[in-house]
């Protein structure tokens, strides 16, 4: 009996290690070998192909079609929205509107610590809540770079900021997806998620300020505004989740936090800024001395205002607009191993298309010619070319791992070997899924039912354990190769992916450890669901 048990454990361990090989390769390639992300991702794809063929006997046809489904998902909607977001930003730079935006922001404060909260945290959270798919890293990181922040610091700050909002990103798609596949009420699930993530929301702006300022000393003089930003975000998110549901928690929270932070910044505007935290001349500090008229300000912000309005009007919150637009779609079966495995392409009501439209209209309002727009678009595609390869490869890996059974083997090892201690690693699965796919939604699809079945098997509160998958997503999003590649492309640091991963990993690891303890203790306290 004991011999059979030992053999079974060894078998689980062997399949677990083999299933992890694409992920292990990514870490080694990015951090150890300092490869560019697209090369590391292509290597991970090759490793996944070999492992799926050898370890899980996946047929060549199923393997190829699984990868093709990943490629298709990468192109639409992920790549299209990334290009659209960076194109919009590049267009505002080309028209000079970004200088106006910089002037407005620096008129509120010339303190880098305050600006990283306003742009990276508040504005980035808003972009994640409305669009997601990398916009919350690409646009704020580019803006912070334009204001004079070190590009590596700007990217890491935005990666930290992008973690906790991901569960409610893109008008709550990850949470509503998780609710649908587990059968849990979306509002109950969203409320539990908001409660679990609350302390991490408050901590995130603090970490961003410490990052920009070089340590805890940077909090001196700005701790009150940092706490106002984090606490207002956390409480608004919890209230919106409980009373509105899964669609708007981050959008509401980001707007509330932006208003509170903005007003607090105005109140303390005349406070002296230490020289080491002040924006250097030529990066926006001088521009704030010249007053702006309302028309100029609106023209500068119009692409982003349009993005907000259009994404809101076309969301499920406005069904008579969302319904007809969402019906313009195609559903196809690409993966040969399962005729029910379909992929739906929404041709109009998808963030990438809508952001493109808003960017073009905004460019017209700002006086940009179509010829210049085409030039900006061409340059943007060239800028993002390696990122596109990274997206294709990573999503190919994710689909091969999912369809072959590699993901199931990873989950089976944790559940089979840890037993009652499983809640301790539940957030780790969510983080792992997001690290591999770059998507909170994909992580929920991969591991949502695993968490539910584990809760039922162990007699743990199912809502608490299922929500913990989303909590882990927050940590995994920070270190996702996709997200890092988006940041490096937006800030012209392609090839620095490994360096950034190494530096942001400590934040993600600290979050994961704290999340594991939180979920484990909560599972013991709550017990099984009623």
Report the 10 Å Cβ neighbour count for 5.
9
Segment 401-405 long-range contacts (CB within 8 Å, at least 24 positions apart): 401/19, 401/22, 401/48, 401/52, 401/436, 402/66, 402/446, 403/58, 403/62, 403/66, 403/335, 403/337, 403/338, 403/341, 404/51, 404/52, 404/55, 404/56, 404/58, 404/62, 404/63, 404/66, 405/56
Strand, helix or coil at 281?
coil
Cα separation, 496 vs 482, in Å, equals 13
Cα separation, 452 vs 24, in Å, equals 27
Report the 10 Å Cβ neighbour count for 257.
30
Residues spanned by the domain of 125: 2-526
Residue showing tokens 């109950």: 188
Residues 6+ apart with CB under 8 A from 6: none
Cα separation, 434 vs 473, in Å, equals 6
The structure's pTM equals: 0.74
Residue showing tokens 């008129």: 107
Cα separation, 396 vs 71, in Å, equals 6
Per-residue pLDDT of the chain (530 residues; tens, 9 = 90+): 455 445 566 777 888 899 889 888 887 887 678 777 788 889 989 999 999 999 999 999 999 999 999 899 888 877 887 788 778 878 988 999 878 877 777 677 778 899 999 999 998 998 888 767 677 888 888 888 888 888 999 999 999 999 999 999 877 878 887 887 787 888 899 999 999 999 999 999 999 999 998 889 999 989 999 999 999 999 999 998 988 788 778 988 998 999 999 899 888 777 778 878 887 644 444 444 556 788 888 999 898 888 778 877 887 678 898 889 889 999 999 999 889 888 888 888 877 888 899 999 999 999 999 999 999 999 989 888 887 888 788 788 878 988 998 878 877 787 778 888 899 989 998 998 788 767 787 778 777 877 887 888 788 899 999 999 999 999 999 998 878 888 888 888 877 888 898 899 999 999 999 999 999 999 888 766 55
Number of structural domains found in the chain: 1
Helices (H) and strands (E) in the chain, counts: 25, 2
With CA atoms as reference, report the closest residue to 128 among 478, 493, 530, 497.
Answer: 478
Q: What is the C-alpha radius of gyration for the chain, rounded to an integer number of angstroms?
A: 23
Would you state the structure tokens that stand for residue 96, as one six-digit string? 């000079």
With CA atoms as reference, report the closest residue to 172 among 358, 349, 317, 23.
Answer: 317
């Amino acid at each position: 009996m004991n011999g059979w048990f030992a053999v079974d454990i060894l078998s689980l361990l062997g399949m677990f290690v083999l299933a992890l090989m694409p992920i292990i390769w990514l870490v080694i390639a990015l951090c150890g070998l300092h490869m560019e992300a697209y090369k590391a991702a292509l290597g991970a794809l090759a490793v996944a192909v070999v492992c799926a063929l050898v370890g899980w006997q996946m047929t060549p046809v199923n393997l190829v079609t699984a990868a093709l489904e990943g490629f298709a998902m990468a192109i639409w909607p992920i790549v299209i929205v990334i290009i659209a977001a960076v194109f919009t930003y590049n267009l505002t730079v080309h028209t000079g509107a970004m200088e106006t935006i910089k002037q407005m922001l620096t008129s509120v404060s010339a303190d880098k610590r305050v600006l990283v909260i306003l742009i990276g945290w508040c504005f980035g959270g808003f972009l994640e809540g409305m669009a997601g798919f990398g916009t919350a890293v690409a646009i704020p990181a580019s803006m912070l770079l334009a204001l004079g922040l070190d590009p590596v610091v700007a990217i890491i700050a935005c990666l930290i900021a992008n973690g906790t909002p991901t569960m409610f990103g893109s008008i709550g798609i990850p949470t509503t997806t998780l609710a649908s596949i587990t059968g849990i009420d979306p509002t109950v699930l969203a409320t539990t998620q908001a409660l679990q993530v609350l302390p991490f929301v408050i901590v995130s702006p603090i970490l961003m300020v410490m990052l920009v300022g070089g340590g805890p000393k940077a909090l001196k003089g700005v701790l009150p505004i940092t706490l106002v930003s984090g606490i207002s975000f956390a409480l608004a998110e919890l209230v919106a989740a409980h009373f509105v549901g899964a669609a708007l928690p981050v959008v509401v929270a980001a707007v509330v936090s932006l208003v509170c932070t903005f007003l607090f910044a105005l109140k303390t505007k005349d406070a002296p800024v230490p020289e080491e935290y002040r924006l250097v001349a030529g990066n926006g500090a001088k521009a704030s001395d010249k007053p702006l008229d309302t028309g100029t300000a609106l023209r500068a912000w119009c692409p982003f205002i349009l993005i907000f309005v259009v994404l809101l009007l076309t969301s499920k919150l406005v069904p008579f607009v969302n319904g007809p637009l969402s019906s313009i779609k195609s559903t196809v079966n690409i993966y040969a191993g399962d005729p029910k495995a379909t992929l739906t392409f929404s041709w109009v009501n998808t963030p990438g298309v809508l952001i493109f439209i808003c960017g073009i209209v905004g460019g017209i309002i700002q006086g940009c010619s179509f010829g210049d727009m085409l030039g900006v678009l061409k340059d943007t595609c060239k800028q993002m070319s390696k990122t596109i390869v990274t997206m294709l490869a990573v999503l190919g890996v994710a689909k091969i791992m999912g369809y072959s059974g590699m993901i199931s083997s990873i989950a089976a090892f944790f559940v089979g070997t840890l037993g009652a201690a499983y809640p301790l690693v539940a957030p780790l699965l969510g983080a792992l899924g997001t690290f591999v796919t770059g998507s909170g939604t994909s992580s929920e699809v991969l591991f949502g039912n695993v968490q539910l079945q584990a809760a039922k098997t162990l007699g743990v509160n199912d809502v608490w354990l299922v929500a913990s998958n989303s909590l882990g997503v927050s940590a995994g999003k920070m270190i996702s190769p996709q997200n890092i590649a988006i940041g490096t492309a937006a800030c012209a640091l392609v090839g620095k992916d490994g360096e950034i991963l190494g530096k942001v990993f400590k934040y993600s690891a600290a979050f994961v450890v704290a999340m594991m303890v939180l979920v484990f203790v909560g599972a013991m306290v709550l017990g099984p669901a009623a």
